Amino acid sequence: VNSPSSPGPDFAPLLARLAKIVGPQNVLTDPHETEPYANDWRGIYFGKTPAVVRPANTEEVAAVVKLCAETRTPLVPQGGNTGMCMASVPRASGGEIVLALGRMSRILNVDALNNTMTVEAGCVLANIQQAAADADRLFPLSLGAEGSCQIGGNLSTNAGGVNVLRYGNTRDLVLGLEVVLPDGRVWNGLRSLRKDNTGYDLKHLFVGAEGTLGIITAAVLKLFPRPQSNVTAWMAVPDPEAALALLALLRRHVGDRISAFELISRNCLEMVIRHILGTRDPLPVPHQWYVLTELADASPGGGLRAQLEPALEEAIEAKLVIDAAIAENQAQSQALWRIRESIPEAARSEPGMLYRHDISVAVSRIPAFIREARAALEKQYPGANVICFGHLGDGNLHYNAFIPGRSRSEAAAREAHDVTDLVYDIVQRYDGSFSAEHGVGLAKVEELRRYKSAVELDLMRTLKRSLDPGGILNPGKVL
């Protein structure tokens, strides 16, 4: 096929050797087939690749990496390609091979007594959740992309999601890893131990490394008791201050049974109703801010609703809650969660470019941050439409903005940084993070340089150089 992204003749010998390792049918070179692997989820970055290689097991991954190390061919590991920072796509220069892990999708073992599960890196998150449920356990990682993201991608981005409040980030959910190193050696760290202080805890090097230090091929994950009862509530609150006070009040009533506590601004709900079929406002009249919360209890007959109702009454009396809808059944709960989970998709359907800021500050400082950042954006860009939602209980907001007159392509060209600089400078003053859960990828390399200390950058570069001296793994990402 003659197209700009077809592999040139220079790649032919390498592609033939790769085909010997994984089988010719698992080396995709037709641009129509490789395109979905080269473009990012947000639809604003279009990379190029000579080939997508799809290994079936760790031995094949190791052989591919070894060959690429030998021939100094850059490799981009890819899971479900749902990442938000262009970390999983090859760059537009066109010489990077995509290593797609999706064929490695086996659940290798479920140990219900040890509360662990061993899985291959290409397992789709929803399938892992289901396998845990089948064993009467919970794997608590949960996020909007769970139907397509893969555990290797979740680990490599240290994904957060809606249950961090109770269960932690992906980093907190892993006990062991198997990793193919940049020279093709395999590190088998598939331990299922809860206590193991035998030197450096190497697995944490690869968690959140966005595929720059090694290829994760398998993982041992932690499982938890499966909740026997849940309650989901959608509450209108006057402002983020009230939302924060509500979180403290709920904690007083139900303790750590709060598994999710999400803040949602009115315009997020309106966007979802506009673009996502079958969604509607859960309350009869509009309000500026909402909280979606989930309570879960692993003991039978947890009586959660009976605990939530007096808490809500107290919150209404204290004017922390204006109105509320409590899901009566699983279908209603799913409908409420669908609103929350559909916000990124709805934003993608809007015209114009969404400037995304996945930020975190101390939970207590969230309301002040929202006020200050909104005022600064509106002053600098009159008519700016701030789309604010996120994991309030973790101090993590998706603090996004549409800027009038900026189309998607123009904005892509100036991708970073005038709007983002303005927001991140405020985040910095709040001692926060410019990337709470999405990572750095290609999108935030500048920010890493701008906001990290020289010592921290030097440590990161030292690690990268010593593990991947040839710089073949996901070059240009993170550092």
Ligand X SMILES: Cc1cc2nc3c(=O)[nH]c(=O)nc-3n(C[C@H](O)[C@H](O)[C@H](O)COP(=O)(O)OP(=O)(O)OC[C@H]3O[C@@H](n4cnc5c(N)ncnc54)[C@H](O)[C@@H]3O)c2cc1C
Stretch that binds ligand X, among 65-73, 208-216, 261-269, 401-409 (CB under 6 A): 208-216
* Residue 98 Cβ vs ligand X, minimum distance, rounded to whole Å: 9
Binding map of ligand X across residues 22-41, x = CB under 6 A, - = no contact: -------------------x
5 near ligand X (CB under 6 A): no
**The one among 63, 149, 174, 263 contacting ligand X by CB under 6 A:** 149
Token pair listed for 373: 């950042």
Token pair listed for 194: 């809860």
Partnered with residue 110 across adjacent β-strands are 117
Q: Which residue of this chain has its Cβ atom nearest to ligand X in the complex?
A: 153
Residue with tokens 């009454």: 313
Contact 372, 429 (CB under 8 A): no
Binding map of ligand X across residues 348-387, x = CB under 6 A, - = no contact: ----------------------------------------
Binding map of ligand X across residues 45-74, x = CB under 6 A, - = no contact: ------------------------------
Stretch that binds ligand X, among 18-26, 145-153, 197-205, 405-413 (CB under 6 A): 145-153
By C-beta, is 73 or 154 nearer to ligand X?
154
154 near ligand X (CB under 6 A): yes
476 near ligand X (CB under 6 A): no
| 120/47 Cα distance (integer angstroms) | 27
| 213/205 Cα distance (integer angstroms) | 8
Containing H/E element for 254?
helix 240-254
84 near ligand X (CB under 6 A): yes
By C-beta, is 53 or 159 nearer to ligand X?
159
Contact 308, 246 (CB under 8 A): no
Which amino acid is it at 252?
Answer: R
By C-beta, is 302 or 441 nearer to ligand X?
441
263 near ligand X (CB under 6 A): no
By C-beta, is 7 or 214 nearer to ligand X?
214
Token pair listed for 211: 């595929």
By C-beta, is 171 or 365 nearer to ligand X?
171
* Residue 48 Cβ vs ligand X, minimum distance, rounded to whole Å: 16
By C-beta, is 33 or 418 nearer to ligand X?
33
* Residue 405 Cβ vs ligand X, minimum distance, rounded to whole Å: 26
Partnered with residue 335 across adjacent β-strands are none
The phi and psi torsions of 96 (rounded to 5 degrees) equal: -105, 130
Of residues 427 through 466, those in contact with ligand X by CB under 6 A are: 437-438
The CA distances from residue 410 to 59, 90, 358, 403, 466, in Å, are 44, 21, 21, 11, 39
| 309/325 Cα distance (integer angstroms) | 11
Query: Among candidates 347, 140, 314, 141, which has minimal Cα distance to 235?
Result: 314
**The one among 150, 163, 265, 333 contacting ligand X by CB under 6 A:** 150
**The one among 210, 262, 294, 297 contacting ligand X by CB under 6 A:** 210
77 near ligand X (CB under 6 A): yes
Largest CA distance in the chain: 73
Contact 239, 318 (CB under 8 A): no
> How many whole angstroms from its chain centre is CA 193?
26
What is the DSSP secondary-structure string of 415-429?
A: -SSHHHHHHHHHHHH
Residue 356, C-beta contacts closer than 8 angstroms, at least 6 positions apart? 42, 84, 398, 400, 438
* Residue 302 Cβ vs ligand X, minimum distance, rounded to whole Å: 26
* Residue 292 Cβ vs ligand X, minimum distance, rounded to whole Å: 13
140 near ligand X (CB under 6 A): no
Which amino acid is it at 68?
Answer: C
| 302/322 Cα distance (integer angstroms) | 26
By C-beta, is 80 or 176 nearer to ligand X?
80
**The one among 28, 52, 145, 304 contacting ligand X by CB under 6 A:** 145
Stretch that binds ligand X, among 51-59, 66-74, 159-167, 299-307 (CB under 6 A): 159-167
Containing H/E element for 349?
helix 343-349
**The one among 344, 393, 475, 476 contacting ligand X by CB under 6 A:** 344
Compute how many residues bind ligand X; rule: CB under 6 A. Answer: 37
Contact 122, 104 (CB under 8 A): yes
Containing H/E element for 322?
none
* Residue 338 Cβ vs ligand X, minimum distance, rounded to whole Å: 12
157 near ligand X (CB under 6 A): yes
159 near ligand X (CB under 6 A): yes
Contact 94, 108 (CB under 8 A): no
357-392 burial, b at 16+ Cβ within 10 Å, e below that, comes to: bbbbbebeebbebbeebbeebeeebeebbbbbbbbb
Binding map of ligand X across residues 232-261, x = CB under 6 A, - = no contact: ------------------------------
DSSP 175: E
By C-beta, is 50 or 102 nearer to ligand X?
102
Q: Rule CB under 6 A: which residues touch ligand X?
A: 41, 76-84, 87-88, 101, 121, 143-145, 149-150, 152-154, 156-157, 159-161, 210-211, 215-216, 344-345, 437-438, 474, 477
